[in-house]
Structure 1
Amino acid sequence: MSIRIAVAAPFLAAGSRSMPESSFVVDLSLDRDWFSPDQAKRLVDVATGEGLLSREDGDLRPTFDPETVTVPDGFRPDESILQQRSVFETVLDRCLDHGIEKQTAVAGINKLQADLAVTIEAAAVLFAHKRGIDVQSEADAALEEL
């Protein structure tokens, strides 16, 4: 499931837009029992790398509004979110978070890639942007990779 949900959950529980990394790790590992402390620290690194978290004044801050995220009952993130993902995978996940079917998103991205003769990352960013999904950080990452 979504890395955004796992990142948002501690901020929603705390009712805050900022928290020390240690509190974030405790929430995910001890309070929720979703990850080990080392895995929760890895999530911080992955989420920071994907532009979902920023470090400011020693605290973690989400780069999105956690209030826009719902943590479903019984949610338990898969350990696969602890792996660094490509821009394509990140954008595809954002599309799924916005209710777009995976098959529809992949087909649309592939069509854009073929029609425009661009990279899969550029096509994914354009696909999401056309649907009103904020993918600016992913677009910046795709541009850096060129």
Structure 2
Amino acid sequence: MSLEVAVAAPFKARARDRLGQGEFVVALSLEREWFSPDQAKRLVDVAVGRGLLASEDGDLVPRFDPTEVTVPEGFSPDESILREQSTFESALDAIVAAGVEKQRAVAAINERQRALAVTIEAAAVLYARERGAAVDRLAAEVREELAAEAGDGATVADDVTDDSTVADDADDATDDSGAA
């Protein structure tokens, strides 16, 4: 997958398991000349949305082992990988459109993901619903993904997108942490 190769390259080049976002962007835009700085920032958003990267303490951390990814000689990623909008990004767009500041929304989503031990997409849909954003289509997608991962786990998938159960759980989790 070219997205995974593009994300792995800066980590492999520096032989590190975490990079600042600026360092990541410089590696992709100035050093490799694969993207403009804005496109490299977009790649970060896509990779976070696809679960390939996470933001921890201001650094980007891969959610896979970059050392196991081969960057072919002469490889250059296709710009189409920047056009993919993940479920996470769609939910985040809906949250921002509902009036929540983007950084605050991302922080709250990350907190819900940790507190509830769900996917970033499920956490984003939960937070979007809590904020009154229209995400019914996205909730259905997340429900299907969770059901597929859990086998026949329809109960788990239904719980993740049920406003009354999980939203209350999310509120309880964030009440203790002070986030959101």
> Are positions 1:41 and 2:41 aligned together?
yes
In structure 2, the CA distance between the partners of 1:72 and 1:145, relative to structure 1 (3 Å rule), is farther
- Deviation string 1:84-128 (CA, Å, 9 cap, x unpaired) is 2568xxxxxxxxxxxxxxxxxxxxxxxxxxxxxxx8x65xx67xx
Q: Is the 8 A contact 2:49 2:86 kept in 1?
A: no
Partner AA of 2:65 in structure 1:
D
Report SS of the residue matched to 1:80. helix
Report SS of the residue matched to 1:72. coil
Determine the C-alpha separation between the residues in 2 that align with 1:145 and 1:13: 40
In structure 2, the CA distance between the partners of 1:144 and 1:8, relative to structure 1 (3 Å rule), is farther
Determine the C-alpha separation between the residues in 1 that align with 2:67 and 2:160: 30
Determine the C-alpha separation between the residues in 1 that align with 2:62 and 2:46: 13
The 5 A counterparts of 1:50-89 are 50-85=50-85
In structure 2, the CA distance between the partners of 1:144 and 1:47, relative to structure 1 (3 Å rule), is farther
TM-score by length of 1: 0.60
Determine the C-alpha separation between the residues in 2 that align with 1:19 and 1:56: 10
- The CA deviation at 1:83 is 1.8
Q: Is the 8 A contact 2:46 2:86 kept in 1?
A: no
In structure 2, the CA distance between the partners of 1:20 and 1:86, relative to structure 1 (3 Å rule), is closer
Higher Cα Rg: structure 1 or 2? 2
User: How many residues get paired?
Assistant: 102
Report SS of the residue matched to 1:84. coil
> Are positions 1:7 and 2:7 aligned together?
yes
- Deviation string 1:26-81 (CA, Å, 9 cap, x unpaired) is 00000000000000000000100111000001000000000110000000000000
Equivalent residue for 1:91? none
Determine the C-alpha separation between the residues in 2 that align with 1:145 and 1:47: 23
Q: Whose relative contact order is higher, 1 or 2, with alpha carbons under 8 Å and at least 6 apart?
A: 1
- The CA deviation at 1:144 is 6.4
Cα RMSD, aligned residues only: 3.1
Question: What runs of 5+ residues in structure 2 fail to find an aligned partner?
Answer: 88-140, 150-158, 163-180
TM-score by length of 2: 0.49
* Runs of 4 or more consecutive aligned structure 1 residues displaced over 4 Å after TM superposition: 143-146
